[in-house]
Amino acid sequence: MLIGPLRLNFTRVLDADEVLDQVVEAEDRRERATGDRRDGNALHLPYWAELWDSSIGMGQMLVKWQTGDLDRLLPKPSKSLSFLDLGCGQGLSGTVAAALGHNVLLGDLEAPALLFARLNTLMYESRARVRRLNWQTDDLGERFDAILGADVLYERAQWEYLERFWRAHLGPTGAVLLGEPGRQSGDVFQEWIGPRGWSLERFTERATTGKQIRLFRLQSLSV
Ligand SMILES: C[S@@+](CC[C@H](N)C(=O)[O-])C[C@H]1O[C@@H](n2cnc3c(N)ncnc32)[C@H](O)[C@@H]1O
């Protein structure tokens, strides 16, 4: 897979709909057997199985930053920074950061996603870690220079959890980078986050899939 000039060995799910069908069928069988109906978060829909355009656009922007074409994104990459790829799915954004020489933790709620994230970062295992995490409840006990979130803003109900998680895990001069594919929720988010003590800078990037991606760069105003 090519991300700008960067060639990656990247393994991904070929047909995300097939994974969704399997999850739904398994849930139907479980419901018939137990009589217990689940919805919402408890359903564990496999959003991780899609490779979202936002992670491709995010990867492209990281490459531009590393090669000096997007200096404003993060501090100069003269030394290796620490990254968290939050809600990493199959791990493309984090894999790009690792391939560029940075230390990366890739985290997701869904265990199958982590198998892909692990496989995709095996080449960089000296600097890439993978772990299961829940941004609603976990405290990792460490802080990062940059927290990446490719397509994690789609559900309004998650924003309070995400904002609290970013605050607890961002280093003092760090930035949160959010890839967003132009959904209405992304428009609302920009209004929502300002009064909570964050500055927001917006970038755009056309992913190789043709989709225009917005990238929101957040920095805490309270440092
Ligand atoms: C739309 S997908 C984006 C995946 C990946 N970043 C990409 O762009 O291809 C959202 C991801 O967030 C993960 N996620 C959802 N809720 C989460 C939570 N509470 N904690 C950690 N990850 C979560 C999902 O499992 C999924 O992988």
Q: What is the pLDDT of residues 54-76, one digit of tens each?
A: 999 999 999 999 999 999 999 88
Q: Where are the domains of the chain?
A: 2-10+46-220
Ligand 1 proximity of 65 Cβ (cutoff 6 Å): no
Question: How far apart, in whole angstroms, are the C-alpha atoms of residue 45 and residue 54?
Answer: 19
H/E stretch holding 93 reads helix 92-99
For ligand 1, pick from 60, 131, 152, 166 the residue to mutate: most ligand atoms within 8 Å of CB: 152
The tens digit of pLDDT for each residue in 126-165 reads 999 999 999 999 999 999 999 999 999 999 999 999 999 9
Model pLDDT, residue 161? 98
Mean pLDDT of the chain: 95
Q: What is the per-residue pLDDT across 100-131, written as a single tens digit (0 to 9) for each? A: 999 999 999 999 999 999 999 999 999 999 99
The answer on pLDDT for 45 being more than 90 is: no
| CATH architecture of the region 2-10+46-220 | 3-Layer(aba) Sandwich (3.40)
How many angstroms does the Cα of residue 3 sit away from the middle of ligand 1? 21
Residue whose CA is at the smallest distance from ligand 1 atom 17 = 109
Q: Whose CA is closest to atom 20 on ligand 1? A: 134
Task: Output the CA 88–ligand 1 centroid distance in Å.
Answer: 6
| C-alpha span between 81 and 60 (Å, rounded) | 17
d(CA 220, CA 196): 9
Atom of ligand 1 nearest to the CA of 110: 25
Higher-pLDDT residue of 41 and 120 is: 120
Give residues with Cβ within 8 angstroms of 143, minimum separation 6: 82, 169, 170, 171, 172, 174
At residue 65, the pLDDT reads 96
Characterize the bridge pairing of strands 144-150 and 170-180.
parallel
Give the whole-number percent of the chain exceeding pLDDT 90.
88
The alpha carbon of 44 and the centre of ligand 1 are apart by a number of angstroms equal to: 10
C-alpha 95/C-alpha 105 separation (Å) is: 10
**Segments in 35-79 forming alpha helices (H):** 53-66
Characterize the bridge pairing of strands 212-220 and 198-206: antiparallel
List beta partners, residue 146.
83, 175
- Across residues 80-104, what is the average pLDDT? 98
State the burial class of residue 80 (Cβ atoms within 10 Å of its Cβ: 0-12, 13-18, 19+): middle
Using CA atoms, how far apart are residues 156 and 140, in angstroms rounded to an integer?
A: 23
pLDDT grade, residue 23 (50/70/90)?
A: confident
Q: Would you state the pLDDT for residue 40? A: 67
- The protein residue with its alpha carbon nearest to ligand 1, atom 3, reads 151
